[in-house]
Structure 1
Amino acid sequence: MELSPRPTLFDFHGNFKARPDDILIATYPKAGTTWVSYILDLLYFGQTCPERQASIPIHERVPFLEISTSTQPKGKHCADQLPTTPRLIKTHLPVQFVPKSFWEQNCRIVYVARNAKDNAVSFFHFGQMSNGQPEPGEWSTFLEDFMKGKVQFGSWYDHVNGWWEKKQMYSKIHYMFYEDLIEDTGRELDQLCSFLGLSPSLEEKERVAIGSKFDNMKQNNMTNYSTVHTMNQKVSPFMRKGIVGDWKTHFTVSQNEEFDKDYKQKMTNPTLKFRTEV
């Protein structure tokens, strides 16, 4: 079968009419987007809509706002058509490009950040397997591009810092860290529920925690993106490892030294700290 050529990057323009009860899940790509999307979906609809869990892939339940390809409906259209209340919507947009209606409607936003080294590794493997992405090239080339922000959705540094600064001014952002979720999912689940104003029973929380475990999601055809034909999971699974510290198997000593030096120059906010191991 002949694959269609990969797309090139384009500038995103457009707007979206948010509703006050919408919940936006915002991340830099490959920072735990699907994980947190599924956690939220289970919290809100896991018990009330069990058929939804078994028959509708997560990317349809939680549409990707800015996606625009020739092979599937536009993300904005899918979000507009969502039948659920609340609507769960995901985005990789830097904070300054988020449609202004989310702020005007005072929507709740869950932001998930992942340490730069693991994020770069995961983004690289995703680029290799997803024909919806620009070709990533060799690891060394991709890492240079990542450091310069010459990748889809721009600079990791600008993304995580921009959302962190917005959080200081806009109280309805819950800023989560991938490493914290790995370390203690139950604790992070409690904090997330507190932010959302949810009070699930212990049994419900346990059900959500078990359902959203990496290995369970990897085996679940509704969450592992096996239904998305632009992704070649033989090259690399969409859900690859789901760990902290995989960067150590990719970075050379010199790459790590260069990255650390660059990181120190760009991450100047002392209040925003990341962990590269747990």
Structure 2
Amino acid sequence: MDRMHVTEMLSGIQLPGHLHTPESLQYAKEFQFREGDVLIISYPKSGTTWIQEILTLIYSQGDPAIATSVPNWMRAPWLEHTYFKTTVKDEEGPRFITSHLSSDILAPALQNSKAKVIYVVRNSKDVAVSFYYFHKMAKFMPNFESFSEFLEHFLQGKVYYGSWFDHVKGWYSQKANLDMFIISYEDLYKDLRRSIKRLCGFLGCPMYSKEVDKVEHHCKFAVMSQNVMVNYTLIPQEILDHEQSKFMRKGVVGDWKNHLTDEQNENFDKMYKEKMSGCDLQIVWNVD
């Protein structure tokens, strides 16, 4: 397949060449944001797809027609991907744009725009587990022999998309400079309805209770996991092998407890404390 084993570099961060080219990355760096743009930004496996679906349904007042007929990566295309330039809409109205790029790359341009930014964050331990399974299914990602091997690379930031710690700290440091709304995967999981209403408030999109009902229903994990426009089963098996792992695998909080040993958990906590020192991000990572 095309560029399956190619690695691109941007600002010292490795990215899969199957999705990125020097040209697409340069286009992303130079992209002009405008008023009305809504950006979904996250580190991989943090709930990005969930927010893409919620935004689609908020702006359609809960009507699932678009959400069930247009792939989510076309509704909210990835800024840095090869297909973005030919996909992004140029007409009036809000443009939904998704990105995993770091703040040092995108924040300067966003500071000079009136775009809205939704930053999605998730417990780094659950991110590590989910990202590991994504590596197993995605044929354009490096192969790791075990979760232990992957976890070691993840903690050191030696994985595609770089360090979770740097990504989160970098974007969180921009909260005073951007029109930014920070939401966690755990918020979505614990109280989806409240999260939808909070997003409506941020976006200036009031909704009737019955419309919120529809958004909530179609954004439940059980429903999304069966929607081929969201679950990535439209992608050929030689690119994403769903026999190795599903893209939408569990949709739970705390799955890391089934994967990390006590020693790994202690090392992770130590690394988190060290790397996140000086960052006052307040997120409740568990929902017990």
Q: Same fold (TM over 0.5)?
A: yes
The equivalent residue for 2:77 is: 63
CA spacing shift, 1:191–1:9, aligned 2, 3 Å: same
Indicate if the aligned counterparts of 1:24 and 1:109 stay in contact, CA closer than 8 A. yes
Runs of 5+ in structure 2 lacking a partner?
A: 11-24
Indicate if the aligned counterparts of 1:7 and 1:134 stay in contact, CA closer than 8 A. no
Instruction: Provide the rounded CA distance (Å) in 2 between the counterparts of 1:177 and 1:98.
Output: 21
Q: 1:267 deviation in Å?
A: 1.4
Equivalenced residue count is 269
Indicate if the aligned counterparts of 1:157 and 1:267 stay in contact, CA closer than 8 A. yes
Moved over 6 A (4+): none
The equivalent residue for 1:223 is: 230
Instruction: Provide the rounded CA distance (Å) in 1 between the counterparts of 2:269 and 2:68.
Output: 44
CA spacing shift, 1:84–1:239, aligned 2, 3 Å: farther
2:245 pairs with 1:246: no
2:266 pairs with 1:266: no
Give, as a single letter, the amino acid of the residue that structure 2 aligns with 1:65: L
Q: 1:257 deviation in Å?
A: 1.1
% identity of equivalent residues? 39
Classify the secondary structure of the residue corresponding to 2:171: helix
Indicate if the aligned counterparts of 1:15 and 1:99 stay in contact, CA closer than 8 A. no
Map Cα deviations across residues 209-266 of structure 1 (whole Å, 9 max, x no partner): 1100011000011111111122111110000011110001110111111111111111
Q: 1:160 deviation in Å?
A: 0.9
The equivalent residue for 1:23 is: 38
Give, as a single letter, the amino acid of the residue that structure 2 aligns with 1:249: N
Give, as a single letter, the amino acid of the residue that structure 1 aligns with 2:253: V
Classify the secondary structure of the residue corresponding to 2:242: coil
The equivalent residue for 1:71 is: none
Equivalent of 1:106, from 114, 121, 130? 114
Classify the secondary structure of the residue corresponding to 1:173: strand
Classify the secondary structure of the residue corresponding to 1:146: helix
Runs of 5+ in structure 1 lacking a partner?
A: 69-73
RMSD, matched Cα: 2.0
TM-score, structure 1 normalization? 0.90
Instruction: Provide the rounded CA distance (Å) in 1 between the counterparts of 2:108 and 2:219.
Output: 31
Equivalent of 1:148, from 145, 153, 156? 156
Listed as ranges, the matches of 1:1-278 within 5 Å are 5-11=4-10, 12-13=25-26, 14-45=29-60, 51-68=65-82, 74-79=83-88, 81=89, 85-98=93-106, 100-170=108-178, 172-229=179-236, 230-269=239-278, 271-278=280-287
CA spacing shift, 1:4–1:16, aligned 2, 3 Å: closer
Instruction: Provide the rounded CA distance (Å) in 2 between the counterparts of 1:273 and 1:135.
Output: 34
Map Cα deviations across residues 44-79 of structure 1 (whole Å, 9 max, x no partner): 13557x5423321111111011123xxxxx223322
TM-score, structure 2 normalization? 0.87
